[in-house]
Structure 1
Amino acid sequence: MEEGETVRKILLAILFFALVVSLVGLYVSANVMIDVWAGQKYSTVYKVLMNAAMLLIVIYLIQRLIIQPRNSD
């Protein structure tokens, strides 16, 4: 393996880690924002909707990125 390719893969891994950290921060901040804006009565409903949307997005991305490339081989 070429040295430049190794450096590229390391940088890509670091960027993916940074992406995951930023997504977790965004998720936590969105939950706090829901608590502040929606109030006690409706915050649970908004959190359920947000979590369901996140679940659907993740399932879709897993299907597109992992399952479909295996089927095309």
Structure 2
Amino acid sequence: MGINIGDLVYQLIMFILLLGMIFAVYFIVRSLLARSNKSNSIEQKLDRVIELLEKDKRESFLFILFSFFCFLVR
């Protein structure tokens, strides 16, 4: 009983396909997790922009109110 080259090639191809499927699943999961983290980062940046806009709006309102008060006091 000798080693058949066809069987050896078939086993090698199946082994490579199995490893390929394992790596594909790994990279898909890693890519989905990275996308989720990126989404969280964008949400945090948008929250910061909204916070700054609201702060600016409050400060502008207070400035207008103060200016109006100073105008009335004159």
TM-score normalised by structure 1 residue count: 0.49
Of structures 1 and 2, the one with the larger relative CO (CA 8 A, separation 6+) is 1
- Which one has the largest radius of gyration? 2
TM-score normalised by structure 2 residue count: 0.48
